[in-house]
Amino acid sequence: MAKITRREPLDGGWGWMVVLAGFLKNCLMFGLIRSFGVFFVQFTVHFEESSSRVSWIGSLLLAMHQFASPFGSLFGTQFGARPVVMVGGVLACLGLLTASFGQSLLHLYLSIGLLTGFGWALVFTPTIATIARYFRRRRTLATGLAFTGVGIASFFFPPLFQFLIDGYGWRGALQVVSAMMLNLCVCAALLRPIRLIEDLPVASAGNAGDGCWGKVASAFDLTLFLHRGFMVYSCALLLVTVGYFVPYVHLVAHGKSLGLSDYEAAFVISINAISDIVARLFSGWIGDLRQIRKIHLLFLWSVLSGISILLIPAGNSYTGLIALTLFYGFCAGGLPALLFATLSDIVGIERILHATGLFLMLMSFGSLLGPPLSGFLRDRTGNFTISFMTAAGFILAGCLVLLFTPGFFGGSKVLPDDEDIASPPSSSRIDLNEERPAPRKEEPMSPGLAWKSLSFPLPENLETNV
């Protein structure tokens, strides 16, 4: 692929089209995940299986999407975001189409869980990393705008899916949804590559030595596992992920257990989307004001999310459940805009592609555990009360781990908010393709020394003089 010269300022221009691609991508991917409870009820009845076994479909989908994200990072680095996201869209379509002919839960595990999940892994990481590269000062707001697609899709998809199921059955509904997944290829067409000044130096952190293992470590940037801030942050969000998606998988079934009709139960998810959209925009706006550090905002939204899930079982009526769902939607909606914006502050924008992939891979273990554990507790207790309480407990435990992030309590700016990073004037023309002397090759560092030498703050001036 030809090298791209940056001829437009960051925080604008074509970057808003990249945000549009992220918006549509989130509509199709996470809109389906949040509305999957409609299909959950159908699968439980059709296959006559327990809630815990059916829950593995959504868990495998989430876990595969996150666990395989490093491959999205690797292929995105090698071939560019556009072709990789297009291939991922085709695989996601094929997975859902194949599932519509499934005769057992195993077929759905393989098609929806593994094939569609792997396709999503190729879509998500290159898209979110491209948004981060196009924006600096408005990065949190741009990410929040992209993630509003989740809320909008969550409002329209549950009644739409219920309408499709009533008209065509769950098999026909899956075929329609599989065709919708091809729009991910349209999103890919909007991902114009951009080359930044930070890309010029060869990062010594990716140099892990010679040999087969050295090449693998360099390709996936495995030295991020020696980055203390990255590891603490990832472990904290892993625990949060265990409980985060539980309400979206089981709220419909919980509503039906309270005596709600199919459309009333589906509307519980839809109404959640209203406060979710408001929260994503509000969270992005507050984050970019830089009055409160992003890591502290993330902690606050996580605590509120845990408390809101803890209160869901108290809604024993349709009105009460709607009110508590609105509260949960507002609390949970503030998290996504901050997740990846804070991650880029921790590892630096030049490592954000690989960091996003490895970060999602670690979070996949939480996605794999959460819904099946919730379904298992429901089968044992006969209701979802203990399930929601356990999910809330995992989120609050993740908040405690987040306190150990380096510099969380420090007075110095260990987690920068980009205000000290100067952006070149919009009128400048920076040609990144001109001949430059080869960078000095640094000797590989032992893992023990690498851990001690990894400094958490970003350099004060990421814009190398060119």
Counting Cβ atoms within 10 Å, is residue 48 exposed (0-12), middle (13-18) or buried (19+)?
A: exposed
Query: Dihedral, CA atoms, 19, 24, 30, 31, nearest 10 degrees?
Result: 140
pLDDT at residue 93 in the model = 95
* Nearest-5° Cα angle at 65, 58 to 109: 40
Query: Dihedral, CA atoms, 209, 215, 216, 218, nearest 10 degrees?
Result: 70
The pTM for the full model equals 0.67
Nearest Cα to Cα of residue 395 among 314, 299, 329: 299
CA distances from 363 to 59, 113, 126, 448 (A): 12, 16, 17, 25
Q: Are 119 and 89 in contact (CB under 8 A)?
A: yes
Segments of the chain with pLDDT less than 50: 1-9, 202-208, 411-466
* Structural Rg of the chain based on CA atoms: 22
- Contacts of residue 256, defined as CB under 8 A and 6 or more positions apart, other chains included, come to 41, 262, 265
pLDDT at residue 48 in the model = 82
pLDDT at residue 89 in the model = 94
Q: At what angle do helices 36-47 and 262-289 cross, to 10 degrees?
A: 140
pLDDT at residue 419 in the model = 40
Token pair listed for 233: 């942050």
